[in-house]
Amino acid sequence: MNKISSKNITILALLIFACFTVLSIGKVAESSENVIRVGAPLPLTGPLSPEGKKQVEGYDLWAETANKAGGVKVGNQRYRVEIVYHDYQSNTPRAVQLAEKLITEDKVHITFSPFGSGATKAASGVSEKYGIPTMAATASSEEVYNQGYRYLFNTFTPNQTLTEPLSDIVKERLPNAKKVAILARNDLFPLAIANVMNDSAKKRGFDVAFFEKYAIGTMDHASALTLIRAAKPDWIFATGYINDLILIRKQMGDLGISASVVTMIAGPAYKEFVDATGPLAENVTSASWWHPAVRYKGEDVFGTTENYNKMFEKKYGRVPDYAQASASAAGAIFQVAIEKAGTLDRKKIRETLAGLEVLTFWGPIKFGSTGQIISLKPPVFQIQNGTQVVIYPSEIQQAEFRVGVK
Amino acid sequence: MRRLLLCLVVVFVLVLPLWGNNYIIRLTTMMMLYSVLSLSWNFIGGFAGYPSFATASFFGLGAYSGAISQVHGVPMFLAWPVGGLVAALFAAALGLAILHLRGHYFAIATLVVAEVLREIVNSWTDLTGGGMGLNLPILRLDVNAQARLFYFSMFVLAIMTVIAASYVSKRRLGFGLRCIKQNEDAANMIGINTTVYKTTAFVLSAVFVGCAGAFYASWVNYIEPGDVFEVLLSVKPIVMVLLGSSGTVIGPVLGAVVFLFLEEMVWRNFLTFHAGVLGLLIVALVLFLPGGLLGLYFRRVFHWKESR
Amino acid sequence: MLIAQIIVNGLVLGGLYACIASGFSLVWGVLNIINILHGSFIIIGSYVAYFAYNYLGIHPFLSVTIAAIVLFLFGYLIQAGIINRVVAAPVLTTLTLTFGLELLVNNSLLAAFKADYRKVILENPLGVIDMGGIIVPLDRLATMVLALILTGLLYWVLNASRIGRAIVAVRMDREAAALMGVKVKQIYAITFGLGAVMAGAAGSVMSVIFPISPLNNILFLGKAFVICVLGGLGSVPGAMIGGLALGMIESFGGLIFGPEHAMTLAFSLLILLLIFRPTGIIGKRGYQ
């Protein structure tokens, strides 16, 4: 056809009209009962799905616990918590789209961020535009919070709070250690924390002999590891997500690489890491924002940390790690803020959050001017005899730091 | 009659924001974006018959150049043409390098270019934010006003693309491209400067896509290399054109509308199997509907014996 | 010393790559179809090995045979049932078709096995050999050797067997082969099946070193592209050379440019080759 024929246009017009009619049917009816709807866009399928699932566990536990206790108190009414999940398939643009859908179609009151610093940053624009209080349970990098947004809050302190105490420990125990090698995944959080580690190390006089990035999805780290081996570092610091770190640790073993200290973020906190690497996990260090060994007497719906661990184990049959705890904490903090504000008005909730100072099972909660939490003391831990033990801070220290990773 | 119908469609689109909520508006904006992509691909793939998988490259380049401009203070409406220009220049250069390839080799070259660009953008952290992505300044404008602003802007871009496609189709350029598709050597012999024609088509397939990319960046406020250089961005426009029927002007638009509709329906109902259903659609399309929907309507017989 | 280790790394990787690409190259050369499904075939082979090992106790190197059978059937059916219908169609059609099939197959794998990375963890790991400072993990070495053996087998089949000669004949001249009594469509199906077999076998063998997940399909495919253009199409020796070349390029590229650029390097090379020398390093389109 050489021109825009009238028949073609008719078809087009009819089709467009039909499409819209059908799509408009899928609207959600607004319910009149007392429900707080919380939006949760998560990667339930795709490469990040293991992480997404952990978030679901954490959120569900909170919703269940809150509802069992009678619901969230808003003024003198009780509201049931309902979490609205949508799967963005580990695809960031979809996460942004879904964040908007949750607000405009599902009519949620508040939202949780998608997984990870990247998607959190992307979706935060949407919640800022609409003025929806949003809690990020998995985003620590400061770059996420430098937009001047007022509706975004989170549960992870900046990356330095992980690398600084760790660097102090290494510097203190190994005064003769000189060289550090850093291998980072080229992704928002892993790269950001590697950069921060670079600064922490340099500040203490370490020589960063190697600092390279690897592409997302790298399946073979032999070249990078060969170069690391040649540099003979005292301290190897690797970042990535659990699958990357398992692979790196294994290939380190294959290539016969050993060092005084091997630190990996963010895999060793999970039992899956220990299971997959076996004896290679011994003496690997890591840091995270929470550990089941911490002991706080919180004012939130979970109360003490021990109580949280118990409830988690009862529901899921295993010990929680910081990922699920963070998700539950996100919900618990929202609950505290709403109950304190006494209303579901979003602006008031936001203001309450901004000024909040409360102790929870997750730790002390206070947000800085960017919305990022500033009050945590992230534990440093090490894998000894197949389990994670806390070696810092001293209040909850379970064991001494051990040197030497084969 | 034709004009009346055209006007009706245009009026419908213009009037939609009055009764649609932001989600419907977003969806329609997406539909128009898809139309721009499919119409653009049609220049090189439908008219000239070159299987280009370069749409993602152009989109990504447009997105990043537009975004980087905006981050450095260029106003949004200027950043979009910048995206288009960068993509067009790249297409011209790339075209000169690879348009002498035929068939599979051309397809692979275009496929791979997007990957290389993605990695370059990923590594150039200082300029592009690398793996950490790039945030654009958000408009301090009411949400509803914003939705409508983007809606109408994309509408303008889509109309421009349709006009370009219609113009090319009627003129010598379109005729020349069709000759190239039928038999490039013969076209050469009868005096058509195939290099110029092909490169023009290639550039045309890039300029609107580049603008759309820059638009997309402003629209979502955050881009990552993996998102804007994604290979599916190259494949979907092809599917849309195959769906609608290639070589026509309305075909790609039709394909885009139907495709988006299917995508939304599938997405709502098949949580874990979207890609699979898309795959199924593609297979069904290729096997049973080779002429596209319009071809079905007119019962055209399309010849498979094409020059390679 | 470092250089020696890099060379060894490159060779070990290269042998594997040769196996990955040989099937892909065969299908492209004979059927003129770019099989986007190739990556997923490899992954299916890996899953076969994984489940065979964890549930039946069969060592991945042995389950190559199971993977081969499974994939041959799968490949044959796909070609006979689906692709053969449009096998003479233009590039765009066949490419889009295999793309669609790949989406379908890959999504099915994801739905069935989830995205989690699995690894075959051998009960008795093979350990490493230390040759004066150069360390070669034995499982990688074994994998490379096996991969080369498989590639050699393919070459032998193409040269020595009747079916192999028929495939080569179809490759050279379809009409003439048909006139000589060769059932072209069946040969197509067998060829596609063979391509799938090579992919599955490679996957089986690689399951001991690479993590298994449906998400790796594009990685394998990308490498296969580069190797085919490097080594020339439809030629097993070509795939071998291309594979080894790519292994070395990645290894040295990692040293010079940093590990994260390895793939970009390979692709840039691909584009340059396509622009200036599309027939590859060998320089002619081989027939075996």
Question: pLDDT, tens digit, for every residue of B9-66?
Answer: 788 888 888 777 777 888 889 999 999 999 999 999 989 889 899 999 999 999 999 9
Q: Which of C34, C77, C103 to mutate to test the interface with B (most CBs of B within 10 A)?
A: C103
Task: State residue A283's pLDDT score.
Answer: 92
CB A363 within 8 A of CB A290: yes
Whole-angstrom Cα distance, residue C237 to residue B174? 44
Structure tokens given for B178: 């069709």
Structure tokens given for C229: 């253009």
SS3 letters for B135-146?
Answer: ECCCCCCCHHHH
Task: State residue B308's pLDDT score.
Answer: 32
Whole-angstrom Cα distance, residue A62 to residue A298? 14
Chain C residues whose beta carbon lies within 8 Å of the beta carbon of residue A46? 110, 115, 215
Write the CB contacts of B212 (distance below 8 Å, at least 6 apart in sequence): B33, B36, B37, B59, B62, B154, B157
Given CB atoms, is A400 within the 8 Å cutoff of chain C? no
CATH class of the A160-288+380-396 domain in this structure: alpha beta
Q: For residue C174, count other CB atoms closer than 10 A to its CB.
A: 17
Q: Comparing A24-33, A293-302, C224-233, which segment has the lowest mean pLDDT?
A: A24-33
Residue A49 and residue C116: Cβ atoms within 8 Å?
yes
Given CB atoms, is B169 within the 8 Å cutoff of chain A? yes
Whole-angstrom Cα distance, residue A386 to residue A282? 7
pLDDT 10s digit of each residue in chain C, 288 long? 678 888 888 888 888 888 888 889 888 888 888 888 999 999 999 999 988 888 888 888 888 888 888 889 888 888 888 888 887 777 788 888 888 899 889 888 888 887 677 777 776 666 777 777 777 878 778 888 888 888 888 888 888 888 888 888 887 887 888 888 888 888 888 889 989 998 998 898 888 878 788 878 888 888 888 888 888 777 788 888 888 888 888 888 877 777 777 778 878 888 888 888 766 655 544 443
Interface of B with C in 131-160 (CB under 8 A): none
Whole-angstrom Cα distance, residue A193 to residue A195? 5
Residue C251 and residue A223: Cβ atoms within 8 Å?
yes
Distances (CA, A) of B177 to A35, B77, B188, C96: 61, 32, 11, 22
Residue whose pair of structure tokens reads 């040989």 in the numeric block: C22
Structure tokens given for A385: 């005899």
Structure tokens given for C271: 């584009």
Q: Which of A15, A20, A87 to mutate to test the interface with B (most CBs of B within 10 A)?
A: A20
Residue A254 and residue C262: Cβ atoms within 8 Å?
no
Structure tokens given for A340: 């304190």
| Helices C2-31 & C162-172 angle (0-180, nearest 10) | 80
Q: Which of C277, C68, C73, C38 is nearest to C190 (CA)?
A: C73
CB C107 within 8 A of CB C47: no
Superfamily, domain A34-157+293-365: Response regulator (3.40.50.2300)
Q: Comparing A224-228, B82-86, B236-240, C141-145, which segment has the lowest mean pLDDT?
A: C141-145
Task: State residue A56's pLDDT score.
Answer: 95
Chains that touch A (3 or more CB pairs under 8 A): B, C
Residue A226 and residue C5: Cβ atoms within 8 Å?
yes
Q: How far does chain A reach from its first CA to its final CA, in angstroms?
A: 71
CB A262 within 8 A of CB A285: yes
Residue B282 and residue C28: Cβ atoms within 8 Å?
no
Task: State residue A312's pLDDT score.
Answer: 95
The DSSP bridge partners found for residue B267 are none
Given CB atoms, is B113 within the 8 Å cutoff of chain A? no
Chains that touch B (3 or more CB pairs under 8 A): A, C
Strand A387-392 with A72-74, pairing = unpaired
Whole-angstrom Cα distance, residue B248 to residue B39? 9
Chain B residues whose beta carbon lies within 8 Å of the beta carbon of residue A117? 132
- B305: confidence class by pLDDT, cuts 50, 70, 90: very low
Strands (E), A10-133: 35-42, 72-74, 77-87, 110-112
For residue A393, say if its preceding peptide bond is cis, omega within 30 degrees of 0. yes
Task: State residue A11's pLDDT score.
Answer: 66
Task: State residue B304's pLDDT score.
Answer: 35
Task: State residue B2's pLDDT score.
Answer: 62
Residue B261 and residue A100: Cβ atoms within 8 Å?
no
Q: Which of B45, B14, B12, B17 is nearest to B177 (CA)?
A: B45
DSSP-based three-state secondary structure for B173: helix
Which one of A22, A26, A129 has the shortest CB-CB distance to B138?
A129
Chain B residues whose beta carbon lies within 8 Å of the beta carbon of residue A91? 227
Q: Which residue has the higher pLDDT, A233 or C211?
A: A233
Distances (CA, A) of A97 to A286, B231, C187: 34, 19, 48
| B143, HSE (Cβ side, Cα atoms, 13 Å) | 16
- Taking the CA of residue A323 and the nearest CA in chain C, the distance in Å comes to 17
Distances (CA, A) of A347 to A128, A130, A341, C268: 12, 11, 10, 52
Task: State residue B295's pLDDT score.
Answer: 67
- Residue A107 has φ and ψ, to the nearest 5°, of 50, 55
Residue C255 and residue A223: Cβ atoms within 8 Å?
yes
Write the CB contacts of B249 (distance below 8 Å, at least 6 apart in sequence): A1, A3, A4, A8, B39, B162, B165, B166, B169
Write the CB contacts of B252 (distance below 8 Å, at least 6 apart in sequence): B35, B38, B39, B41, B42, B46, B165, B237, B240, B241, B244, B246
- Taking the CA of residue A57 and the nearest CA in chain B, the distance in Å comes to 19
Domain chopping of chain C, boundaries: 2-276
Note the pTM of the prediction, 2 decimals: 0.83
Residue A213 and residue B146: Cβ atoms within 8 Å?
no
Residue C99 and residue B107: Cβ atoms within 8 Å?
no
Q: How far is CA A82 from the centre of its chain?
A: 21
Distances (CA, A) of B112 to B44, C242, C267: 17, 17, 6
- A21: confidence class by pLDDT, cuts 50, 70, 90: low
- A18: confidence class by pLDDT, cuts 50, 70, 90: low
Is the pLDDT reported for residue A28 higher than 50? no
Distances (CA, A) of C171 to C168, C175, C229, C284: 5, 10, 18, 14
- Taking the CA of residue A285 and the nearest CA in chain B, the distance in Å comes to 25
Given CB atoms, is B232 within the 8 Å cutoff of chain A? no
Give the amino acid at C81: G
Whole-angstrom Cα distance, residue B206 to residue B204? 5
Residue A221 and residue C259: Cβ atoms within 8 Å?
yes
Write the CB contacts of A338 (distance below 8 Å, at least 6 apart in sequence): A36, A72, A74, A344, A349, A352
Q: Where in chain A is the domain with CATH 3.40.50.2300?
A: 34-157+293-365, 160-288+380-396
CATH class of the C2-276 domain in this structure: mainly alpha
Q: How far is CA C199 from the centre of its chain?
A: 5
CB A324 within 8 A of CB A61: yes
Given CB atoms, is B204 within the 8 Å cutoff of chain A? no
CB C279 within 8 A of CB C285: yes
Residue whose pair of structure tokens reads 């220990």 in the numeric block: A274
Which one of A89, A97, A187 has the shortest CB-CB distance to B131?
A187
Instruction: List % helix, strand, coil for chain A (3-state, nearest 5).
Output: 45, 20, 35
Angle at C276 between CA C271 and CA C278, to 5 degrees: 75
Buried-state track B159-186, b at ≥16 Cβ within 10 A, e below 16: eebbebbbebbeeebbbbbbbbbeebee
Percent of chain B with pLDDT over 90: 34
Whole-angstrom Cα distance, residue A14 to residue C192? 43
Structure tokens given for C222: 């990308």
Q: How many residues make up chain A in this entry?
A: 406
Structure tokens given for B221: 């406020």
Strand A357-360 with A207-214, pairing = unpaired
Whole-angstrom Cα distance, residue A38 to residue A83? 5
The runs of H, that is alpha helices, within A81-136 are 92-104, 116-130
